[in-house]
């Protein structure tokens, strides 16, 4: 499958362990060719080529580390809604400042996301 046929994946990438878990899941999805990762900071920052990608009509997976839903909100600023939105707090991923992601919780959340999207 060509990259432009894959769904887009956007993730939170803040400073907490939950945010970095979201980012690592999106990177893993990109590297395994499950989805193509794009830059949510560019969408939120109104960078035209990145906004155009988000608005291209491709399916979108948004992964947020917590209920603040920054990733989903960046997309909404441009009238774009994800086909799938995941808040990792619902997958028992804690939000801890100054800590790295828990590898077991990362893998568990990753597996649950793949189950929901059917990959």
pLDDT at 5: 87
Classify 10 as helix, strand or coil. strand
Does 2 score more than 70 pLDDT? Answer: no
Look up the pTM and report it.
Answer: 0.95
- Do 40 and 54 touch, CB atoms closer than 8 A? no
- Do 71 and 54 touch, CB atoms closer than 8 A? no
Beta carbons within 8 Å of 38's beta carbon, 6+ residues apart: 8, 9, 10, 50, 53, 54
Q: Where are the domains of the chain?
A: 7-95
Give which of 9, 28, 12 is closest to 20, Cα–Cα.
Answer: 12
Predicted confidence (pLDDT) per residue in 10-42, tens digit: 999 899 999 999 999 999 999 999 999 999 999
């Amino acid at each position: 499958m060509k990259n432009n046929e894959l769904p887009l994946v956007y993730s939170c990438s803040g400073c907490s362990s939950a945010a970095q878990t979201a980012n690592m899941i999106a990177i893993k999805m990109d590297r395994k060719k499950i989805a193509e990762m794009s830059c949510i900071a560019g969408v939120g920052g109104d960078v035209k080529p990145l906004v155009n990608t988000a608005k291209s009509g491709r399916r979108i997976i948004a992964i947020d580390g917590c209920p603040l839903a920054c990733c989903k909100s960046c997309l909404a600023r441009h009238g774009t809604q994800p086909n799938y939105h995941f808040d990792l707090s619902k997958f028992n991923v804690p939000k801890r400042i100054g800590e790295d992601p828990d590898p077991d919780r990362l893998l568990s959340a990753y597996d649950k996301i793949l189950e929901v999207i059917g990959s």
